[in-house]
Amino acid sequence: MPTIGHLMPASLPGPESRPSPRSGPTVLADLPNALLRYAVHQGLDRARVLAAARVDPRALEPSEGRVLHADFNALWSAVEQQTGDPDLGLSFATSGVGEGEYGVVGFLAMTSPTLGEGLARVVAMHPVLKEDAEVALRRDDRLAYFEQRQRGRTPWSRSIIDHGFATIVMSPRTWTNGAFAPSEIRFQHRRPRDVGAYERLFGCPVIFEQRTNAIVFEGSSLGLSLRSSQAELAGYFETVARSALEKLSPRDLPTAVRVAIRDALPEGDMGLPRIARRLGVGARTLQRRLNDEKLVYRDLVDEVRRAEAVTLLRSTDLSIFEISDRLGYSETKAFRRAFRRWTGAAPADARRALL
């Protein structure tokens, strides 16, 4: 993510940015362009990398704004093969070459008043960065979890995941003058033979072959002030980010809504106006776009609650009361009724069956 000295990159997407006319999930063009800068910095030939990845250079022009995820993944594979670096994602993240690679979302995060607000904005605006991923920020009594889940059928490479998490850890360290420190890093991919680079970078236990990719840290860290906070700039970046989010095609909206609902569950307010504000759009605009998709907002809330309920029953020791509260129910009996409606079973019976 960016540093305070690079607040106005030439490639910052503005209102004129438009989605790629090609089909498939896309990523912000700044991401693959930063990877290519790193490749050249390592002595690789840019044209040779593009040829190996079979990516048309015109697809990476800043004016396009978006690049197909399939092309982005192919670029990672080509750079990894040509550098021979098994820890490419970590090496790139620590190189300092990728300034501004997270575009307006990165700048919005770093100019936020606190770490919690910055990460919440990353979650809300994440579709602007990548359409092939969902992220969530949740917390329990003591710990906070920044989680990432994949969308789509094309699997992520280890390098992409490593790079993203390394950047998410390193940026808050810089923004908080070193006060941020993760407690644990969880990766879905297999444990590599040598984990030395992981341990040196993250400075905490790193575990592999987990059910989700997650950065675990003390919940109190969410209140850390950011030395890069600038309210006026944050307002500008939020306007630009909202505009970029609005320009994403309707097929991307359901995922953004589900993520916003999941993040709002502990607060107990999943009303459409609240979720619209989280997404940076008006309530009428959100309702219209859901109608265009033939989606019922109440059904999306039910869908998210059901998925989270199953996850919490299966993977935590939280009581039924605590799970009910985590899902935003004012009464446990309301959660029990909803769960039986979803599954035909009581929560306690489902937990025994899931274990």
Q: Does the pLDDT value for residue 255 go beyond 80?
A: no
Residue 107's CATH number:
3.90.1520
Residue 68 pLDDT = 84
If asked whether residues 215 and 323 sit together in one domain, one would say no
Residue 211 pLDDT = 84
Please indicate whether residue 229 or residue 353 has the higher confidence score (pLDDT).
Answer: 229
If asked whether residues 205 and 290 sit together in one domain, one would say no
Q: Which of 75-79, 86-90, 256-260, 323-327 has the lowest mean pLDDT?
A: 256-260
Which residues does residue 178 pair with via DSSP β-bridges, in sequence order?
A: none
Q: What is the DSSP string of 189-213?
A: SPPPS--HHHHHHH-S-EE-S-SSE
Structure tokens at 334: 């309301």
Q: Does the pLDDT value for residue 331 go beyond 70?
A: yes
Contacts of the segment 132-139: beta carbons below 8 A, 24+ positions apart? 132/25, 132/27, 132/69, 132/156, 134/255, 134/258, 134/259, 135/259, 136/259, 136/262, 136/263, 137/263, 138/262, 138/263, 138/266, 139/219, 139/222, 139/266
**By residue range, what is the domain housing residue 100?**
26-223
Residue 154 pLDDT = 61
If asked whether residues 278 and 205 sit together in one domain, one would say no
Residue 342's CATH number:
1.10.10.60
The percentage of the chain sitting over the pLDDT mark of 70, rounded to a whole number, equals: 88
Residue 18 pLDDT = 34
Among 187, 205, 223, which residue terminates a domain? 223
Using 50, 70 and 90 to split pLDDT, how confident is the model at 280? low
Structure tokens at 275: 């979720």
If asked whether residues 291 and 176 sit together in one domain, one would say no
Determine, yes or no, domain membership for 289.
yes
Residue 335 pLDDT = 92
Give CA–CA dist 279/266, Å, rounded: 17
Which distant-in-sequence residues (6+ apart) come within 8 Å of 311 by Cβ? none
Determine, yes or no, domain membership for 333.
yes
